[in-house]
Structure 1
Amino acid sequence: MLSSRRALVTMLVVVGALGLAGCTPSGEPEAADSADTGSRTGVAASGSAPIVFAFVCGTGDGDVTETYSTYAAAWEAERTDCSAKPVTGTEPSAQQEAAVSAADEGATLQELAATCAERGVAPWTAPVSSPAEAGLAAGLLEYCPGHPERDRLQEALRVYRG
């Protein structure tokens, strides 16, 4: 179901011409900047707030994936097809709640986390041209202040809003 919804969100973004907790308010990734290049299976959520994710990203080599424990590691690898798996925490942080609210129901927390891990693809690199894309952009800007392509997305949203 999440995969279908993620595909729908991505498709809406692409069709309109346009992939936390995310990052901490200071723009620093929440966990250590190491990459786990082995694929994890059965990542389980435990603990308390905030929710922290691992990112399972396609490598472009068939069905081969890599799992990253931080956004920065996924960004460095320039991944374009990621999913987010909760690893700890059960309650969203204030920043996570604000991001979902800013997305205006256009994306779930897990979808925002997965898209935050991606780089070099829409919505990060394309114009904002619809209310749905504007909601997604606003959610990502709130959720992912340290993203390397944040300035492009912020400018695209500014242009759209006029």
Structure 2
Amino acid sequence: MKVFDQSELANLNQAAAESPRRRSNLNWHKDYTAAVQRLFISMQPDSYVRPHKHVEANKWECFVVLQGTLLFVTYKPDGSILDKICLGPEQTASVVEIPPGVWHSTVALQANTTFFEIKEGPYTPINDKGFASWAPEEGSPEAQDYIQWLIDAKVTECWSRAD
């Protein structure tokens, strides 16, 4: 039996706060070949998750937000925002399931936002994600601007690169 207790949560949050990517995960599956991938993820508000879609037809995901508030954003193929929803224990929803092929990204709106992710395995890094060409790359100077834009942007708006 496995138990994710408050000390595990505190350790995960600390690891996220100390990570250059400002997020950390704790895998609960045995290895990357497991048929079901299960992991806890803690994110800080300045962690950038580049919009992406899972290109394999069977690669759905489910997020269950345990702590904090996670802004979940979906996009049209051109990069315009299709929908935005705040997920968390204090929100009207705390769970989302993402079908394969849906452009999406997340932003932690509170420190130590933590969620449990479940997805079909096995995990294959080479073809796991298709990153959006219309959004900044992770680590780029525009990434933090993009996070703020996502928080403020309205549905139907599209990111405009600063030139």
Q: Normalising by structure 1, what TM-score?
A: 0.31
Higher fraction of helix? 1
Asked which structure has the greater CA Rg, the reply is 2
Higher fraction of strand? 2
Q: Normalising by structure 2, what TM-score?
A: 0.31
